[in-house]
Structure 1
Amino acid sequence: MPQTTAAVVDRRGAQFALRPIEVQEPRRDEILVRVQATGMCHADLAARNGDFPFPLAGVLGHEGAGVVERIGEAVTAVRPGDLVILTFDSCGRCTGCVSGLPSQCAEFVAYNFSRGTRLDGSCTLSSADGDLHGNFFGQSSFAGYALTRERNTIAVPDNAADVPAQELAPLGCGIQTGAGVVLNVLQPRVGSTMAIFGAGVVGLAALMAAALLPLREIVVVDIKDSRLELARKLGATQVVNSGTDDPVQALKGLTGGGPDMVVESSGVPAVLAQAVRSLAPGGTAGVVGVPAFGATAPLDVADIVNASKRIVGVVEGQSNPPEFLPRLATMVADGRLPVRALVKAFPLGDIERAAEEMRSGLAVKPVLVP
């Protein structure tokens, strides 16, 4: 079995601990990927803290990019030597999957969070202390190798082959989520207005996608002036610091009555309520920020009904990865999605520093290099 180093979380709330592990050889439908880079995302820290249902001890990481080393005999979509992006997993059998909407997989939570093993219950990872839970988003890529499946291993197109792995890795979740909610779900009309709540990597990815479209106003709301300044550089026409200004009133003034659509990426329930209140009549809120499981938001139902507002939950940008990720990789390669402006690289051994800089806001998108 391949041996490598991984960042292991032993128990809820524990720090990442680097240690040697073994990765099982790929079965007939599996792929062994040598990880070149992997992004750190809110979901990794939430799972470590117990906010998301992933069993521990285990290995997290779900924005991997790397090179295929070995494949099982049933794999046809990639070959050894291919540069690939790793993304979320899905069953391939349910209505969502067969309809080309794997982000709406009926078993999404089981395949990406709660199981931590193969379908048959077998572990894919082990250390000197015994079996480890893996298969986090079908990859557990905080390691030198990841064991994946064909459904969540996407070949990079030739026109993006020169893009560094550090810029490709975030496409697997954060960039896909932010860009997808705009391009795949909201699909704004020419001349419409949009507000984006939260200038983290998902919100800024939504901004980068919106900036490609002929919108009248794109307003970004956050509490950090440094993030708002970055948002201006990436295409925001206006910004609002919600730590000093009422974002609902500010947005109504800046857009002439409220934005036609909002993206809520902060994952804070009270901010979701603000985002919905700010909408113009007939507006749509695309909700991508995820708080701890079970969290609720104080929404004014009469406002939603009387103003014909819509609230749409969007996971992974409603993406069909084999189609959408090559499209995003091409947009990175030709400069339309400046992901490089968000990325800060860290050696895997500095994973705790990366986590702290993400929490503090010093790093927008930490990317770990094994």
Structure 2
Amino acid sequence: MRTTAVLSRDPAAGFTVEPVEIDEPRAGEILVRVVAAGICHTDLVSRRAGAADRPILLGHEGAGVVAAVGPEVRTVQPGDHVVLTFRHCGACVNCAAGRPAYCVRATALNQFGRRAHEGPRVRLGDTPVLDGFFGQSSFAGYALTTEDNTIVVDPAVDLALAAPFGCGFQTGAGAVLNVLRPGAGDRLVVYGAGAVGMAGLLAARTVDDVRVVVVETSPARRELALELGAEAALDPAEGPTAARVRELTDGGATHVLDTTGIAEVLGDAVTAMTVGGTAVAVGLGRGTPPIDVADLVLHGKTMRGCIEGDSVPATFIPQLLALQASGRFPAERLVARYPHTAIDTALADQRAGRVVKPVLTW
């Protein structure tokens, strides 16, 4: 199948849009005509994989329509509208326990996983393209996927809005709804109001009487957070936030979602929590958070990590899309659409804070 793809040849250079050949689906594979694909921070940090001059095909928030299926595919058929998400084996101890995001084979399956069959899935002329990112590499007009990461959705769903639910939106929303689980009267603080943090805010607003404070550097995103229901939006540039958070939350946050991946921010967030508070970190970063062990122990605080919202995508993504359809999860306020040929413009707008979640369309 000949199509166009957004490729990375050099992590220090811009993306290129080039014609590629996508193979037909083989046993267990699904060929999806990509309608849209969200741009996630993980796509950008993963560009360093492989040789700098080797074409790399990224994209892991795809959505589209099934064009064809290979032998042994049972749960998906041509014509299905689908959202693409992360891969998992379905058989290991973590998958069996309902925690597919922590699949024992997650790295092998998601980080440019090799095809089970001989021959490349994607070629640029005679050159194989490094693909298989999250089992989809959906920065192209077509993508090869498998049943475990292909979620069938209602045909009425706007696929450009649905695409980010495959990773970013389910990560933020899942961290709140599946892990933190705030209830009436609780006080959630979200550090970082990018796509993941905003999804956490929207998720919290689906629970009655949960107060939300956002900590964010971008003025535009602080303003949007207030429009979406945050009680307050703090600028960390104005000084240490812990004392201000405790004042705004009547003594401290009961729940914290950190999306920044910055060790110092996470340490500040734990300090800002009340007795028995829980902090969940979803941002991948480096360093060791400066945690006061006495504060952690004496006040019974909890800190844990979370990926992909601890979700089971086959059930959680349709749940979130139903909330969006009902108006309770207004993801349309976060998404900006760009033709895939305008990826550099999309990235510039995202870096400048003009958009929260850029989505490429084909």
Q: TM-score, normalised by structure 2?
A: 0.95
Match in the other structure for 2:344: 352
- Matches of 1:123 and 1:213 in 2, distance apart? 46
Moved more, 147-156 or 245-254: 245-254
- Aligned-residue identity in percent: 44
Match in the other structure for 2:298: 306
Match in the other structure for 2:269: 275
- Matches of 2:326 and 2:304 in 1, distance apart? 31
Match in the other structure for 2:55: 57
Match in the other structure for 1:13: 12
Misfit runs of 4+, over 6 Å: none
Match in the other structure for 1:30: 29
Structure 2 residue 312 is the aligned partner of structure 1 residue 320: yes
Number of equivalences: 360
- Matches of 1:228 and 1:25 in 2, distance apart? 46
Contact 1:217 1:238 in 2 (8 A): no
Q: TM-score, normalised by structure 1?
A: 0.93
1:91 maps to amino acid: C
Q: CA deviation at 1:247?
A: 1.2
Structure 1 gap segments, 5+ residues each: none
Q: RMSD of the alignment, in Å? A: 1.6
Say which SS state the counterpart of residue 225 (structure 2) adopts: helix
Q: CA deviation at 1:118?
A: 2.0
- Matches of 2:213 and 2:341 in 1, distance apart? 37
1:107 maps to amino acid: R
- Matches of 2:289 and 2:119 in 1, distance apart? 38
Match in the other structure for 1:77: 75
Q: CA deviation at 1:12?
A: 3.1
Match in the other structure for 2:201: 207
Structure 2 gap segments, 5+ residues each: none
- Matches of 2:174 and 2:210 in 1, distance apart? 20
The partner residue of 1:222 within 209, 216, 219 is 216
- Matches of 1:135 and 1:299 in 2, distance apart? 38
- Matches of 1:95 and 1:37 in 2, distance apart? 33
Contact 1:54 1:116 in 2 (8 A): no
- Matches of 2:55 and 2:97 in 1, distance apart? 35
Match in the other structure for 1:182: 176
- Matches of 2:115 and 2:263 in 1, distance apart? 33
Say which SS state the counterpart of residue 322 (structure 1) adopts: helix
Contact 2:34 2:141 in 1 (8 A): yes
Match in the other structure for 1:335: 327
Q: CA deviation at 1:38?
A: 0.5
Contact 2:113 2:134 in 1 (8 A): no
- Matches of 1:76 and 1:99 in 2, distance apart? 23
Match in the other structure for 1:104: 102
Which aligned pairs between 1:115-126 and structure 2 lie closer than 5 A? 115-119=112-116, 123-126=120-123
Q: Deviations over 1:3-30 (max 9, x none)?
A: 1110111133332111111111111111
Say which SS state the counterpart of residue 281 (structure 1) adopts: strand
Q: 1:359 to 1:116 in 2, by over 3 A?
A: farther
Which aligned pairs between 1:220-259 and structure 2 lie closer than 5 A? 220-259=214-253
